[in-house]
Structure 1
Amino acid sequence: MMTTRLDKDAGELISPTAPNAGIEVWRLCEQYTVVQAAILIAGWDPGRVTEVEKLPSHERPAGYEAAKNALVQRLHHDSWFGRIVEIDDVHKYQNGLTYTEIDVEKSIVWSHSVKSWLSDQGLSSGFFFPERMSKPNAVPDYLNPAHPRYAPKLAAAVRAWQAYGNVSTKVDGKSPKQVLAEWLKQNAAQFGLADQGGKLNNEGIQDVAKVANWQTKGGAPRTPGKAEHDRPPNQQDGSA
């Protein structure tokens, strides 16, 4: 069973479920040691997890070792990621080449670089993304009716585009624009595309459908239905 370092000053065992009231203050820093950054990425407070490098690997905080190794690799490959402090006369092999071992307790990484790197790896939650921590399911500003720059037609176009995969199978044989228009008609009131009596603003619906439509060329492929190649050869649209 994994345990974590007993913080002698705090007099308590640090655990993943323990409150990290002081961790927010670390966001004031523009740089961190590799050790500090790894601890933060793993979701721990560096001020409460002490002498982690002296612990056996199985006693280190969960996620720390993986985060530290990833940070070290990034430092070796990107000189703009931070600043390396080497440990003299210590070498390792990587892809058949030697490289100098770095001092993870003295080498530093820039906060903004770590955040960008995490985003590039598809990670967008945790310490380096406080906006996602405070609002994990937050609605984007352009879809939020309470936002001062909320534009109903823009929101309608985005929502229709997002919903396309859910509705297209129900309206076989129609073009994407037609499918989008059908969805907009069904949800018109939500986006101000119908008056209080329920009368649709058909012109507005068509305008929004044009914005959300990605098949803008004439004769665009239609949603699943009768395939074009099933038509008799030489038969033109509208012909008998």
Structure 2
Amino acid sequence: MAEEYPNLDHWKHVEEFMVYEAALLMAQIDPYDYPDGIEQLKEWDHPRWKTAKGYQRAIATAIARGVLTASHIHVIETNYDGQSYIAKFDESRHTWADIDTSGSTITRQSLFGWIRKQNIILILPPHKRQKDGEFIKAVTLASDGIIEVSVKETPKIAYAPYLDENNNLSPIELRATTAAWEAVTGNGDPLITGKAVKPALRKWLTEHAAEYGGLGKEAIERCATVANWNKNGGAPKTPTRTPPRD
């Protein structure tokens, strides 16, 4: 078997990839070592063959749905004589499963754009890990390779110094207030779904009080008051639907 995490520098100037090549590269596998693609990986029982297969399916489905732009999309069809031939992808007749992963191609720019937009999570090679189980959480164009990563054990926003838990000058109630606001507004304004803002903030702070030094009732109330943007108060109106016109 080829090196488990090979050096992929020889791919850094390639501007167009076959679908299976892109999938293998995303799984940190050198396509040159497995010219027959996923089936060869499976046959040789490569430890990441399922990872590569998952990426390949993700790319193919994205192409079929028009989410990822391909340079060429080919399908393999069979004529009445039982002979195979290459045909163009027709969304009215074909699905992602019909896409020829060896004949269909995507550009580097399209691939990177799709990875960023869809927030694709890639496993980080051991030699680049700082801790076991770390993942690539951000993907950017790299000047010296296929991908460039920023490593975090869990995805987090790049906070200002006063919200950095490792900063001794960071007020714990300020961090709790910010975290509560982010949690409550994660799916948009809760008022739209009929939830009162301050009680929702108070509930989150109560449930996560231990994470912020054991916040007491008064501290929770202070944080909820600061994070509450709905100063009008009162229960929110129940959302209603406008009846359809005849």
TM-score between the two structures when normalised by the length of structure 1: 0.48
Please say which structure displays the higher CA radius of gyration: 1
TM-score between the two structures when normalised by the length of structure 2: 0.48
